[in-house]
Structure 1
Amino acid sequence: MSSASAAGGKPSGSASAIAAASTSGYHILKIDGYSRTKGTPNGEALKSSQFAVGGHRWRLSYYPNSYKSDSADYISVYLQLDENVTEDVKAQYKINFANLVEKQPSWTSRTVRNFPSQGIWGYPQFIKRENFEKSEHLKDDCFTIRCDVVVIHDISTKETTAPKFVSVPPPELNQHLCELFKTEKGADVVFEVGGETIAAHRCVLAS
Structure 2
Amino acid sequence: MGACKTASTCSPDEAQGTHVFNILGYSKHRGMGSKHDCYIRSKSFTVGGLDWAIRFYPDGLETQDHISVYLELLSKRTKVRASCDLRLVDQCTGLSSSVHKTGPRLFSFDDSTRFAPQFSELKKRSEIEGEGSVYLRDDRLTIECMVTVMEKPHVADTKPFPKIDVPPSDMTADVGRLLEEKEGFDVTFIVGGETIEAHRFVLAMRSPVLKAELYGPMREARPGQYITIEDMQPAVFKALLHFIYTDSLPRDTDLEGHKDTDMVQLLLVAADKYALERLKLVCQSILCEGLNVDTVAMTLALADQHNCHKLKDACLEFMEISDDMDAVVATQGFKDLKATCPSLIVDALEKRRKFRKA
Structures share fold, TM-score greater than 0.5: yes
Report what 2:144 is aligned to: 146
Match status 1:54 vs 2:48: yes
Rate the CA distance shift 1:14–1:102 in 2: closer, same or farther, 3 A.
farther
Following TM superposition, by how much is the alpha carbon of 1:21 offset from its aligned partner in structure 2, in angstroms?
1.4
Report what 1:132 is aligned to: 128
Checking the alignment, whether the CA contact within 8 Å between 2:88 and 2:96 is kept in structure 1 is no
> Residues 87-102 of structure 1 correspond to what in structure 2 (within 5 A)?
87-99=78-90
Match status 1:120 vs 2:115: yes
Match status 1:40 vs 2:32: yes
Tell me, what secondary structure is at the counterpart of 1:52?
A: strand
Report what 1:155 is aligned to: 153
Counterpart code for 2:18? Y
Partner of residue 80 from structure 1, selected from 67, 72, 84: 72
Partner of residue 30 from structure 1, selected from 18, 22, 45: 22
Aligned counterparts of 2:150 and 2:163: Cα–Cα separation in 1: 35
Identity %: 27
Report what 1:12 is aligned to: 4
Aligned counterparts of 2:157 and 2:141: Cα–Cα separation in 1: 49
Rate the CA distance shift 1:111–1:144 in 2: closer, same or farther, 3 A.
same
Aligned counterparts of 1:13 and 1:128: Cα–Cα separation in 2: 57
Between Structure 1 and Structure 2, whose CA radius of gyration is higher?
2
Aligned counterparts of 1:62 and 1:45: Cα–Cα separation in 2: 5
Following TM superposition, by how much is the alpha carbon of 1:101 offset from its aligned partner in structure 2, in angstroms?
5.7
Report what 2:194 is aligned to: none
Structure with the larger RCO, 1 or 2 (CA within 8 Å, 6+ apart) = 1
TM-score, with length taken from structure 2: 0.40
Q: Bigger shift: 118-127 or 56-65?
A: 118-127
Following TM superposition, by how much is the alpha carbon of 1:156 offset from its aligned partner in structure 2, in angstroms?
5.4
Counterpart code for 2:108? P
Residue by residue over 1:48-97, the C-alpha shift from the partner in whole angstroms, topping out at 9 and shown as x without a partner, is 01110000001100011112x2x321000000111202x41111001011
Aligned counterparts of 2:40 and 2:158: Cα–Cα separation in 1: 49
Report what 2:58 is aligned to: 64
Checking the alignment, whether the CA contact within 8 Å between 1:58 and 1:82 is kept in structure 2 is yes
Checking the alignment, whether the CA contact within 8 Å between 1:28 and 1:98 is kept in structure 2 is no
Following TM superposition, by how much is the alpha carbon of 1:161 offset from its aligned partner in structure 2, in angstroms?
1.3
Tell me, what secondary structure is at the counterpart of 1:125?
A: coil
Rate the CA distance shift 1:144–1:117 in 2: closer, same or farther, 3 A.
same
Structure 1, unmatched stretches of 5+, are 1-8, 176-207
Counterpart code for 2:152? D
Rate the CA distance shift 1:124–1:93 in 2: closer, same or farther, 3 A.
same
User: Per residue, is there more helix in 1 or in 2?
Assistant: 2
TM-score, with length taken from structure 1: 0.67
User: Per residue, is there more strand in 1 or in 2?
Assistant: 1
Checking the alignment, whether the CA contact within 8 Å between 1:101 and 1:146 is kept in structure 2 is no
Aligned counterparts of 2:105 and 2:4: Cα–Cα separation in 1: 41
Residue by residue over 1:89-121, the C-alpha shift from the partner in whole angstroms, topping out at 9 and shown as x without a partner, is 11100101133866549xxx8522222226211
Aligned counterparts of 1:15 and 1:101: Cα–Cα separation in 2: 43
Counterpart code for 2:134? E
